[in-house]
């Protein structure tokens, strides 16, 4: 499966821009090119193995599978109709929030700070009470449990905790990516006095 896609990205000033890339999905290998590749040996701009760490999340919107573009006007019309119908569907009340900031520090130091679950985290994370690693899955993935303070919640609301699968990687430019999403784990059942919050997806 292959075809053109437009990628929406943000620059260092927080402004969005789009770029066109040609994607080729061959078994579990996904590659992107700036133009249609002339041969199978051509080096891609980026490539990745599609596994459990790369996923598509369905948040209630209509899924359109195995389509990377419209080659005919009729097909484009069907895409537009699908998007229109999806926009009319009732959604849940969970907003998507994006925060952008500049931190004075190296990528490595910031990464270590974000990964820490000890008492030092409460110095900058005012919601954080305590946390622990439930299980190490591999060199880049683990399951963590975080308990949050109730001070920032409305009066009478029970405290929240989170059970998250955390995946991280270091990019070629030295920056880090950390991905979180809620999971279930037999070693960490629901805690008395807490309501288990659900994090659909989070990227740092």
- Specify the length of the chain in residues: 204
pLDDT for res 30: 83
Q: Which residues contact 190 (CB under 8 A, 6 or more apart)?
A: 196
Share of the chain above pLDDT 90, in %: 17
State the CATH number of the domain containing residue 137: 3.30.530.20
pLDDT for res 99: 65
Residue 158 and residue 161: Cα distance in Å, rounded?
A: 10
Quote the distance between the C-alpha of residue 187 and its chain's center: 24
Tell me the per-residue pLDDT of 80-126, one tens digit each, with 9 for 90 and over.
676 666 656 665 555 556 666 677 888 888 889 989 999 888 888 88
- 69 belongs to a structural domain: yes
Residues 23 and 62 in one domain: yes
Residues 130 and 199 in one domain: yes
Among 30, 60, 88, give the residue marking a domain's end.
88
- Average pLDDT for the chain: 78
Q: Residue 56: give the domain boundaries.
A: 2-88
pLDDT for res 39: 86
Would strands 16-26 and 29-33 be described as parallel, antiparallel, or unpaired? antiparallel
**How many structural domains does the chain have?**
2
Asked which of 20-29, 50-59, 180-189 is least confident by mean pLDDT, the reply is: 50-59
pLDDT for res 28: 76
- 198 belongs to a structural domain: yes
Where does the pLDDT of residue 71 fall: very low under 50, low under 70, confident under 90, or very high at 90 and above?
Answer: low
pTM for this structure?
A: 0.53
Among 88, 118, 146, give the residue marking a domain's end.
88
Residues 72 and 114 in one domain: no
- 75 belongs to a structural domain: yes
Where does the pLDDT of residue 142 fall: very low under 50, low under 70, confident under 90, or very high at 90 and above?
Answer: very high
Residues 119 and 191 in one domain: yes
* pLDDT of residue 152 exceeding 50: yes
- The residue that leads in pLDDT, 152 or 146, is 146
Which of 109, 170, 189, 180 is closest to 142 using CA atoms? 180
The residue behind tokens 């499966």 is: 1
State the CATH number of the domain containing residue 64: 2.30.29
- The encoded tokens of residue 55 equal 């996923």
- 84 belongs to a structural domain: yes
Average pLDDT (143-170) is 88
Tell me the per-residue pLDDT of 157-201, one tens digit each, with 9 for 90 and over.
888 999 999 999 888 888 888 889 899 999 999 988 899 988 876
């Amino acid at each position: 499966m292959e075809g053109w896609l437009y990628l929406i990205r943000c620059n260092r000033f927080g402004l969005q821009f789009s770029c066109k890339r040609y994607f080729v999905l061959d078994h579990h290998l996904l590659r992107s090119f700036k133009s249609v590749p002339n041969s199978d040996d051509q080096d891609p701009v980026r490539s990745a193995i599609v596994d459990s760490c790369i996923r598509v999340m369905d948040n209630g919107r209509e899924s359109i599978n195995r389509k990377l573009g419209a080659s005919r006007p009729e097909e484009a019309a069907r895409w537009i109709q699908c998007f229109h119908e999806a926009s009319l569907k009732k959604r849940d009340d969970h907003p998507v929030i994006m925060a952008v900031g500049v931190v004075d520090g190296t990528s490595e130091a910031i990464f270590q700070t974000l990964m820490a679950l000890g008492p030092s985290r409460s110095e900058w994370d005012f919601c954080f009470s305590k946390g622990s690693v439930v299980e190490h899955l591999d060199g880049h993935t683990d399951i963590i449990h975080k308990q949050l303070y109730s001070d920032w919640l409305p009066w009478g609301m029970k405290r929240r905790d989170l059970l998250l699968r955390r995946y991280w990687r270091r990019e070629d430019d030295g920056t880090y990516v950390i991905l979180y999403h809620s999971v279930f784990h037999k070693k960490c059942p629901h805690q008395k006095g807490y309501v288990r919050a659900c994090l659909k997806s989070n990227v740092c």
